[in-house]
Every structure is written in C-alpha cells, then in structure tokens.
Amino acid sequence: EANAQKTQEPDGVQRHLIGEIIRRFEKKGFKLVGMKLMQASEDLLKKHYIALCDRPFYTMVSTGQGETNPSDSRPGTIRGDFSIEVSKNVIHGSDSIESARREILLWFHTDKLTCWAESTEPWIYE
C-alpha cells in the first residue's frame, strides 16, 4: 500500500538533482515503488494541488512535511541543502497519508506500482 509520495519540482529536474534526491531517500531506507518522468499538464497540477487552490502561493509552492520555506529548513534536508527561494523548493512531499493516496492515484495506475520485498527492511524497521 502506498503511503508516501515525493516528487521532483521542475527546478530540481533542471538543476540535475534527481539522482541525488533518490540517493538520499534510498540511504534513509525508503523503498522506491514507482517512478516516471513527465511534464505535468495544468489540469493535472490543479487536481494535485486542489487543497491549496485558494491559497495565495498556490501557483508557486509545494506542500509537505517539514518547512516549505527553504530559509526555515534545517541543513541536511533536501530543501535546506538545495533551495533558496520558496517558489523553487526542489521537492514536493505529501502532507498526510490521505493526501499521498489521492496524489499517487493522480500520477500512477496502481497496477504500475511495484511492491517488492526489501531484504534490508529488518535492519531498518522494527
């Protein structure tokens, strides 16, 4: 069952940070179950950010756990290490499991997600 979602923002792609960010997630112990590179349509982005459509920053910022503003982000975090501007904060992370499920279904068909047994799982999780 998918319960987290992280996406590269266009600035992260343009700055060639995809590999570095995937490496950080893998080093942390997250399991990659689906990935694709695409240019999102305006319609898809509106559906994805529907909960933020009435906010003044709707057209320029992602939401997620942690600080949205890079200047408030801790060193060692993706935004703390790679971002300077709020509108160029490199990565989107879902703000809840419910949001992640909704957002994942916008981007992926569930039959395209690969659930696999991670051999290191007992070494990472209790």
Burial of 71 (0-12, 13-18, 19+ CB in 10 A): exposed
Q: Which long-range contacts (CB under 8 A, 24 or more apart) does 82-86 make?
A: 82/12, 82/15, 82/17, 86/57, 86/60, 86/61
Helix (H, G, I), strand (E, B) or coil at 50: helix
C-beta separation of 91 from 8 below 8 A: yes
Q: Would you state the structure tokens that stand for residue 76, as one six-digit string?
A: 């060692």
Where in the sequence numbering do the catalytic residues fall?
A: 92
